[in-house]
Each structure stands twice: as structure tokens, then as C-alpha cells.
Amino acid sequence: MAGLIPEGFIDELLNRVDIVEVINRRVPLKKAGKDYQACCPFHEEKTPSFNVVPQKQFFHCFGCGESGDAISFISKFHNLDFPEAVETLARDAGMEIPQRQESPAQAQRSAERNTLLECLERAKRYFQDQLRQHPQRRRAADWCKLRGISGAIASEFELGYAPPGWDNLATRFGTDEKARSILLKAGLAVAREQQRQGDSGKPSMYDRFRDRVVFPIRDSRGRTVGFGGRVLDDSKPKYLNSPETPVFQKGRELYGLYEARKSKIGKLLLVEGYMDVIALAQAGIRNAVATLGTATSSAQIQRMFRFAPEIVFCFDGDNAGRRAAWRALEVTLPMLEDGKSARFLFLPEGEDPDSAVRQFGADKFRERVDAAQPLEDFFFDHFRADVDVGTIEGKAALSSKAMPLIRTLREGVYRELMIERLAEIAGVDRKTLLAPITAKRDSGKPPWEQQAPDFDAPPFLRESRRDRSGRSARRAGPRKPQDPALVAIKRLLREPRFALAIAEDEDLSPLSQEGDDAAKLLLELVEIVRQNPNIDNIPLLEQCSRSAVSDLPRAITAENIEPSKREKLQEEFIEIIAELLAKCSKKLANKRRRDQLRARTAAKTSEGGTSASPQDESLPGGDSPE
């Protein structure tokens, strides 16, 4: 669903639907006076504490504290984000969501995305048919049986078979030049290099997936956006993924998320491969997802936290696995807040979830997951492995390496406890631990350079050395931390096409509703690029010149981006967008809770004539209503 949802439509939708009908379709309700009751669908209970108030059109559970309107219920019950929940509720009510007027460029991109999605869906059905009908289907079926994959699991995950041959898809779907172009853009076919002399009769392209079991990759809405393929023998590469396309970015998608979101277990298990997800599902462990051959990204962490408050990372216990785990920890830290947690499960060398669950069974594997190492233990163990905390030098080194990362945590109880834990290990009080950091900021260097010269900056806040050189001598006084939105603007001014890497259906409206001036300017620049994909940075600079954002002149001096670093910087740009969206979405959620709390307080006052107790004046997560 592209574009912003008009606020007026949301109000009209909530006015048209009856929350009692919406919830009763999903959870049987019983009349209780003027209201309705049921056992809460969001936590286990035997005595009903889930109340639906038709007069106020909201629900509230006195057991777990969940509350909200019809959209909030749909979002929570089906594990949907806000735009998807609105879309679901509107569809049930027979209403069509109005979209803002698209520019010709936007309309063209939307049409291209729909065409690619249709092509990928046709290809998925073709691969499924081949698994049932192709003369060599037995090889693929035998491989599935050997790996313990049942027909039910193969059907649920929509597994298929790409038969041998160079042009099966090209022959079936590439009937003309336009159709062949779509196959190439969808990543289903590969263009041949310049044909050699005597090869002029060969097709101009060939199938990407050949003689492989095929795993469709679905987004959170269940649409096929790409494929993974696994060979049936020992040939290389063993696994092959779709390339990045306008509808598929490896750093954003997670294999199995569409299926795992239905489990409602409260935690997601992140593993490294398709077969890990399939094998765990076969054993009845239905909350596993997998990355797609890339390092864990902040966009993936953000997406997982939308559906579960806890993530368990599962890695090999060797050095490579622990390095990957540390990278995941660095990316996860800025996303953590009270109510969200992460743990790490390290498997013995040579073992993976697929082999472990088949060898030891589901119950033993669940025990391992339940005993996974908390993030904070892995965090401090990692640093203590390199320093001797029994010495003064070791304690100082531990503090200097750990504090820059702890500072990336969001304000809250968890952050304070991490600081207290470090103070306890270092043998100093909290104030002493923080004092050197405050003093060293006066040097004008960022914290990660002050504390540990060999320590990399957090991913969102890195700044190129070239950009820093030449400015340090001119600095006077303390240096302000970089505003992530300004960093993103700087990237965008140099590479406007970074904006096109943002998923078309990503809802950016929280930036305009709750973002600061820099975030709103960033959104304006992204929209300009989306409307004019081939634009240069001159109109963007003009838009910046009209802005009153403080500290903007420094960002307008766009940094030079070397071609070799472009992909990494684009990934950081997407990570910043995800971080800003998470922050603004949280503000919106808190605002909704405040409105709901005021409504409940007003209802209690009007019905009972009593004022709300101080206990009612707080919100989940420690937010106050004012």
C-alpha cells in the first residue's frame, strides 16, 4: 500500500466499524452489563479480564494491560503494522483506502512493482507444479524426504522445484521482449554476456534457478518477493538467492517471518538458513526466521521487534559465529528498550538447528533456547575475554570499550542497569564511571575515538575520516553528537538514489507526524527523489536552503562517497530511516495510549463520579499521561 493514509479516512473508518463486531469475529464475546467480556487473546488466563466497551469503542484487559481501538486490536491480534491493520479493517468494512495523487514517476514505479510481484507469483506456482509433475520430480521429492520435510510443511512454505535446463522460465513466460525484460528485473533470469562468435543462435538470457529445490521468500504480507534455491547434489554454490530487485532487499526481508508471525509465542528465533527454519517448523517449533545470506541488519531487527518482544539469536559457537553474533548485538542495542530483550544461543561447532532438532528432538532444543545467554551476559563476557578485570588497567579498558555501546541504548531502566553492571565490574560508582566520558567530550572527538582508538563507531553514527579531517582544528568547545537525520540528509545529497532503496510500501508518515524538523526535511527530500527518480542534488540543495533546520549547513556539505563504499553507506542510510521510524512510531503509540487513558479516565469520572487513582495515571513502559 503506497502513500500516506489520510487522517480523515482513519477517523471515518473507526466511526463506521463497531469494535464489538470486529473483535467478536475473532474472539467470542459475552455480554456483561453494558459491556462485553472474554478471556484475553493476548495472554493466558482462566477468568475473563478482557473488556470491550461499545459506548467508547475501545477494549482493555485488566490482566495484561493491553488496550486500544479497533485498529489497535487488529494490529495486535494479527501481528500487523499500522498500515496493514488499517488495510485489513477497511477491507472487512468494504471501504477503499484513498491514496494521495501519485506523480507520473510514482505511478510508473507502482505499476512496475505490481508487474514484478505478479511475475514472481506466476513463477512460484510454476515451481510448485514442477515438484508435482516434472519427470525428474522424484529427485527433489527424495531430497525433501531425506531431510525430513513432510508434504504438509512443503505445502505450507510453498516449496517448489526448478527443473534442469537453461530456459524453462524464459520459454514459458518470456514470449516477447517486454516479458523477457520483466523476468530479468524480477531476478528470475540472467542476461548472457556478449555472445561469442558462433553463439548468435543462443537465447539472450538463461534461468537463474536450475535443478534446485526452490524456497519462495515472502514478505510480511505473504507476497512472493524472491526465491532461494538449494542444489540436490554437491555442486556449488549450494544455496542461491534472488538478486536485489525493486521488490526485494536482502537486508530487509526474513525467511519464514510470514509463517512465524502466526505463532504468537512472544519470541522469535533468528537462525542462519532456510533449512533451519523448515526443520524447526517440521519439529513443531514455529517461531524461527532466517536472514538471507547477509549480516543481521537494523531493518530486520526492527521488523522482528514489531512481532515479538524477545529475539533469540542462534549462531555457531565457532569464532565466525561469535563474530556474527557480536555484529547482531551492535545492531540490536539501539533498538532495545524496556519490554524488549535479546538472547544468544551458541551451538557446538559443526552443529546447526536443522541437525540439532533432528538429533535431539524439539523438547531438548526448546530447553536450549530457554537457557540462551542474555544479551547483557554476552556483552560483558565479550569484553572480559580480552582484558584482565583483576587489574586497574583492565577495568579501565573494559569501561572505555563498553561505555560507547551502552550509550547507544535508549533511555530507560535497562540502560541504567547496564551502567550499574559495568560500574560493579569496574569497581567504581556510577558517577565516577560517567565523569571521564563527560570530560573527554571537551576534546571535540566522538566518544568511540576518545575511549578506544581501535573501536568502531556505532553503525548509525559513523562519519568518514575524510569528512573529519580538516575540521578538527577549527572546532572550539564540546562537539554535539551527530543527528541521525542530518547524517541521512548528507548521504542523500551525495547519492539521491539512496531514497529509492526504501521499500515502496514503507509507511513513512510517522516522520511527518512525530519527527523533528530534520526528520521532516529528510522525508521531504525522500519524497522529491521518489517523484523524480533521475533527479540530481540541485533541487535537494534548494529545498535545504529553504529549511530552518539548525546545524544544516554542515550537512549540506555533502561528503564524497567512494564507489566501493556505496553499498555499505546505502545500508546505513536505510538503518537510519528504520531507527527514526521506530522512534517516531513509539511516540505515536504513546500518544494513542495517552488519548485512551484520558478517555477511560473521563468515562470513569462521568459514570462513577470518582477521579482516577494515581496508579491509573501511568502507561505501559513508564510513560506518564502528561
Going by C-alpha positions, the residue among 496, 504, 491, 456 that lies closest to residue 568 is 491
Residues 6+ apart with CB under 8 A from 252: 297, 299, 300, 303, 503, 574
Q: Kindly report, residue by residue over 143-184, the tens digit of the pLDDT.
A: 999 988 999 999 999 999 999 998 899 888 877 888 889 999
Nearest to 1 by CA among 123, 105, 90, 76: 90
What pLDDT was estimated at residue 438? 41
Number of H helices, E strands in the chain: 27, 16
Average of per-residue pLDDT across 346-357: 88
Q: What is the pLDDT of residue 608?
A: 55
> According to the model, what pLDDT value does residue 607 have?
56
pLDDT for 367: 94
Determine the average pLDDT of the residues in 253-276.
88
Paired residues of 289 in beta bridges: 270
Whole-angstrom Cα distance, residue 215 to residue 228?
5
The answer to whether the CB of 249 falls within 8 A of the CB of 501 is yes
User: What's the average model confidence in pLDDT over 576-586?
Assistant: 86
Q: Which of 245, 368, 361 is nearest to 314 (CA)?
A: 368
Q: What are 206-252's pLDDT values in tens digits?
A: 999 999 999 999 988 789 999 999 999 888 888 899 999 989 988 88
pLDDT(622) > 60: no
Burial (CB count within 10 angstroms: exposed 0-12, middle 13-18, buried 19+), residue 154: buried
Residues 6+ apart with CB under 8 A from 454: none
Residue type, 607: E
Give the lowest-confidence range in 60-74, 348-362, 503-517.
503-517
Whole-number Å distance between alpha carbons of 364 and 594: 44
Using only C-alpha atoms, the chain has a radius of gyration, in whole angstroms, of 27
Task: Identify residue 316 by its one-letter amino acid code.
Answer: D
Cα–Cα distance list, 547 to 381, 515, 537 (Å): 47, 15, 15
- 107-121, 232-246, 399-413, 593-607: which has the minimum mean pLDDT? 593-607
Residue 164 grid cell:
534442469
Q: Rounded to the nearest 5°, which phi and psi values hold at 409?
A: -65, 150
pLDDT digits (tens, 9 = 90+) for 531-574: 777 777 777 776 776 676 655 555 455 455 666 677 778 888 88
pLDDT higher at 561 or 110:
110
CB-count exposure of residue 200 (10 Å: 0-12, 13-18, 19+): exposed
Q: Mean pLDDT for the chain? A: 80
pLDDT at 194 (0 to 100): 56
Element (H, E) at 307: helix 298-307
Q: Is the pLDDT of residue 463 over 60?
A: no
50-54, 573-577, 591-595: range with lowest mean pLDDT: 591-595
Angle at alpha carbon of residue 453, lines to 447 and 459, rounded to 5°:
60
- Under the banding of pLDDT at 50, 70 and 90, the label for residue 59 is very high
DSSP string covering 184-199, please?
A: HHTTSEEEPPSPPTT-
Q: Do 212 and 230 contact (CB within 8 A), yes or no?
A: yes
Q: Give the pLDDT confidence score for residue 365 in this predicted structure.
A: 94
Q: Are 312 and 276 in contact (CB under 8 A)?
A: no
pLDDT for 372 beyond 80 = yes
pTM: 0.63
Question: What is the average per-residue pLDDT within 247-267?
Answer: 86
One-letter amino acid at 542 equals E
For 279-311, how does the pLDDT look when each residue is reduced to its tens digit (9 = 90+)? 999 999 999 999 998 889 888 998 888 788 899
Residue 442 has pLDDT above 70, yes or no: no
pLDDT for 196 beyond 50: no
